[in-house]
Amino acid sequence: MSPVIPIRAPRAPEIGILDLQGGIQEHLDHLERLGIDARRVKTADALSDVAGLILPGGESTCIARLLAIFGLDQVILREVRRGMKLWGTCAGTILVAKTLVGEPAHLGLIDITVERNGFGSQLDSFAAEAAIPKVSPDPIPLTFIRAPKITHVGPGVEILLQIDDYIAAAESPDILVTVFHPELTPCLALHRYFAGKCGLTPQKADGPALDPSWKTTSWTRLARLP
């Protein structure tokens, strides 16, 4: 008699967070608040069936090197071709840009030009507030930490937020980019928007843009050693 091979139930669609370096737990916290299943992504296997992938803020040079060392850069390119959506926050925006000022691009997945450290050093980090009508009817908080600037977008890229002489958020059909950090604020609007872009419906689909229960230390309950 042939052995019985158990049939695995299909996993619910998830959003992955690239877990090589940077702000992973903060994104996990926001997705959990929306009732969206999420997973940390360290290996190619973990990318095989996610609906979307968040490339978090951190050190873009470090993350790019690790992507190449582990061969994840090519896997990400493959998975985007099969339909996976991407969201780059801050350093993640640098990683997905087609053009970087003064240096070679990395993944080159969205036709934007990015200037690294566009506002200056770490000491020039700042907080602001702005309305992004496509994302939320209410103004949302923006946290810029040694942020890049998007200086130009090409055909097929929609500007979601422009402030003064720079673009702070943009998207193509497959890629979302923000030069600020929604995960460091009580704002759930961008995570809710990205979930929709991935074809997922949050449990709190019509909730407020800001979660009043969020604290600056909320993410620490998810922190763990690798």
Q: Map 109-124 to HEC letters.
A: CEEEEEECCCCCCHHH
Overall fold of domain 15-219: Rossmann fold (3.40.50)
Chain-centroid distance of CA 217 in Å reads 20
User: How high is the pLDDT of residue 117?
Assistant: 80
Model-wide pTM > 0.85: yes
Residues recognised as catalytic: 90, 181, 183
User: How high is the pLDDT of residue 224?
Assistant: 59
Give the residues of the chain that fall short of pLDDT 70: 1-12, 120, 123-124, 204-205, 223-226
Token output for 57? 């803020």
Q: Which amino acid is at 7?
A: I
User: How high is the pLDDT of residue 88?
Assistant: 97
User: How high is the pLDDT of residue 118?
Assistant: 78
User: How high is the pLDDT of residue 204?
Assistant: 67
Q: Where are the domains of the chain?
A: 15-219
User: How high is the pLDDT of residue 48?
Assistant: 84
